[in-house]
């Protein structure tokens, strides 16, 4: 699957006002600053964007604001993850995915699914949309490590999985992953 997601992407913060509301003027300044800095793509609603502190409506407004400010200058990756597969799929339908070039989906946090459970989660998620998906493995935050074999099986079985953001910190796993998937994923 061809994609425009290459080079350096920046995970955007979500600035807040003193009253805990999203600072949309500040968000606009952040998007323009990053865009002017010659990055290759933007990552909206990732961990850096304080996504777990936003309501579903706020997430949608933040994403739409980033899309509007970006004005098709750079590709956008949208962070969308969670530990309830059904809710994840239902909430994804709220977004205009034609404005996103890929989805960054974190390993389900907290409930520590088995490797088979991870496979089934991502398979169901990918079956629900045609968008390119980037797996996000960050065990220190989720409590669960997605093993190389699971990633390999997903890459083989699920055509819209295009990449992996590997943040596990295990150099041996990273080397094994690179060797196994260098021709298949980002």
The residues carrying an active-site annotation are 136, 165
How far, in Å, CA of 6 to CA of 40, rounded?
7
How far, in Å, CA of 185 to CA of 180, rounded?
10
Q: Which two tokens stand for residue 160?
A: 């819209």
How far, in Å, CA of 108 to CA of 57, rounded?
21
């Amino acid at each position: 699957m061809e994609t425009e997601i290459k080079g350096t992407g920046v995970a955007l913060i979500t600035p807040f006002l003193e009253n805990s509301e999203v600072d949309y003027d500040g968000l606009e300044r952040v998007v323009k600053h990053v865009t002017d800095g010659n990055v290759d793509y933007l990552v909206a609603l990732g961990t850096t964007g304080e996504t777990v502190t936003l309501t579903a409506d706020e997430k949608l407004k933040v994403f739409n604001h980033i899309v509007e400010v970006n004005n098709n200058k750079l590709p956008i990756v949208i962070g969308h993850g969670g530990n309830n597969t059904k809710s994840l799929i239902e909430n994804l339908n709220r977004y205009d995915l034609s404005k996103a070039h890929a989805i960054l989906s974190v390993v389900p946090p907290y409930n520590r699914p088995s490797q088979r459970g991870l496979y089934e989660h991502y398979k169901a998620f990918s079956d629900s949309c045609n968008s390119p998906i980037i797996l996000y493995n960050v065990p220190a935050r989720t409590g669960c490590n997605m093993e190389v074999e699971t990633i390999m099986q997903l890459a083989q079985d699920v055509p819209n999985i295009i990449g992996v953001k590997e943040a596990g910190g295990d150099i041996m796993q990273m080397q094994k992953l690179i060797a196994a998937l260098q021709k298949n994923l980002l």
